[in-house]
A = this chain, B = another copy of it.
Amino acid sequence: MIDVGLLDPATGDAAELVGDAAYAAAMIEVEVALLGALADVGAAPAVEIDPAALAGTVDVAAVARECRGGGNPVIPLLGALRPLLPGDVRDVLHLGATSQDVLDSATMLVAARVRERVAADLAEVRAGLAALADAHRGTAVAGRTLGQQAAPTVFGLRIAVLLDGIDRAGAALAALELPAQLGGSVGSVAVLADVLGQERAAQVRRRFAERLGLTERAGVWHVERGPVASLAAALAILLGALGRLGLEVAQGARSELGELDLALDAGEGGSSAMPQKRNPVAAVLLVAAGRRAPGLAATVLGAQLALDDRPAGDWHAEWQPLRELLRLAVESAALARGLVPALAVAADRMAANLDATDGAIHAERAQWALVPAVGRARAAALVRDALATGEAFVPALLRLVEGDPEAAPAVERLRAVTASGGPVGLSDALIDASIGGTR
């Protein structure tokens, strides 16, 4: 037993979807699907085999112990599986397949289930964020760039941008092709063709993919690791988008900012030392997952440089990082699903924080409001002078402008662009676009 989740405080359903037992069960499904596909072309007995029942019987820990010699878990799994099958099926078990066919297809099966679960969670996240964006179309908040207050914006727009990122990342994951793998020892499908002829061999490949609910690729991909690399990249992009949600919440919830709060369940967010602490744990764990994803994805991307007809070491290097990415995706989607409805928006704190620069946050729009009247250079000079007074910016600027006959006509405009609250610029349209869904 290496990992039951002690160092992964976000775990839970992940074990069920991507744990060793899930992988073993998926490998069994793959072998059973191959038997079924063979039966479909008359090359195996047409007996009904329940992969779940078989999976329940196999001792995963024992298979793991035995997998040291062969370098992969399929060999001992076959050893454990064979005695559990009807006698006339045993001889065709694994016919035409190689270990990598089984593990690659099983991995895609695991990925397909993860994707389904993640999609369901993301649908809730999307709904929650869309509602938030809609509700806060007019909630004024300081726009910040490079950590500094920059110009006023609305909180709904900030949420819309978050939503957009998660939405697109989810859509890209959903659009990925998850192919079955069945090429035989060196990817030529030679044994199946030897035993069944080319036509029936091709049919077995088709039926195999159909039975597993995976895409049938025209080619084999034992060393063409695009499907795995693309999956890892899509997961890392999603984890980045969700990580950004966590980062924003963790920052917004900082004690001194107080713009966001997390309604924590009893027992959540406590500290071993500080009785008053209410840590935004879900946000923190989203950040942690987002920070881990690139290193994991890099390893999977690097494993593309696989030699020969099936790779030595590079393939093996994919297994754990890809599983870990799938695990993090399950966990982060679940964390986000819990976090969004628990978000409390402190519009009063946002409004208060908008005053932090004593009005200087309005300088950009104020300056452009003056340009039509006095040109860019003098507009800039007026703003600079107002900032230099050290007084509250807007009244200081108004005073200067009112005292300048050429600039004075811009006063109404100035008042308009420095007013707070309500939509800003194209914020409503941008929010609509995000809520409407970008794809």
CB neighbors of B among A336-389 (8 A) = 353, 356-357, 360-361, 363-365, 367-369, 371-372, 375-376, 380, 383-384, 387
Main secondary structure of the interface of A (DSSP, over half): helix
Bound Cα distance A223, B245 (Å): 11
CB neighbors of B among A263-285 (8 A) = 265, 267-281, 283-285
Binds B, one of A115-123, A399-407, A419-427: A419-427
In the complex, which residue of chain B has the Cβ closest to the Cβ of A7? B319
Q: Are B438 and A148 in contact (CB under 8 A)?
A: no
CB neighbors of B among A287-309 (8 A) = 287-299, 301-309
A236: B residues at CB distance < 8 A = 229, 233, 301
Q: Are A309 and B143 in contact (CB under 8 A)?
A: yes
Q: Are A288 and B276 in contact (CB under 8 A)?
A: no
Known: A144-B309, A185-B145. A265 touches B193 (CB 8 A): no
Q: Are B310 and A194 in contact (CB under 8 A)?
A: no
Known: A71-B146, A320-B324, A365-B190. A285 touches B313 (CB 8 A): yes
CB of A178 closer than 8 Å to a CB of B: no
Binds B, one of A19-27, A33-41, A49-57, A124-132: A19-27
Q: Are B425 and A279 in contact (CB under 8 A)?
A: no
Q: Are A425 and B294 in contact (CB under 8 A)?
A: no
CB of A114 closer than 8 Å to a CB of B: no
Known: A7-B23, A23-B6, A168-B226. A188 touches B143 (CB 8 A): yes
Q: Are B272 and A78 in contact (CB under 8 A)?
A: yes
A218: B residues at CB distance < 8 A = 430, 433-434, 436, 438
From B169, B257, B301, B425, contact of A237 by CB (8 A): B301
Bound Cα distance A75, B146 (Å): 15
Bound Cα distance A276, B382 (Å): 12
CB of A256 closer than 8 Å to a CB of B: yes
Known: A188-B430, A191-B365. A147 touches B280 (CB 8 A): yes
Q: Are B299 and A145 in contact (CB under 8 A)?
A: no
From B19, B146, B273, B276, contact of A387 by CB (8 A): B276
Number of interface residues of A (CB under 8 A): 203
Q: Are A297 and B299 in contact (CB under 8 A)?
A: no
Known: A284-B316, A305-B243, A317-B292. A188 touches B273 (CB 8 A): no
A237: B residues at CB distance < 8 A = 226, 229-230, 233, 301, 304
CB of A247 closer than 8 Å to a CB of B: yes
From B97, B273, B369, contact of A185 by CB (8 A): B273
Q: Are A256 and B256 in contact (CB under 8 A)?
A: yes
Known: A219-B164, A288-B317. A75 touches B11 (CB 8 A): no
| 12 A/B residue pairs, CB under 8 Å, sorted by A | A2-B18, A9-B68, A91-B376, A145-B271, A145-B279, A145-B308, A188-B426, A193-B426, A218-B434, A219-B433, A275-B387, A284-B316
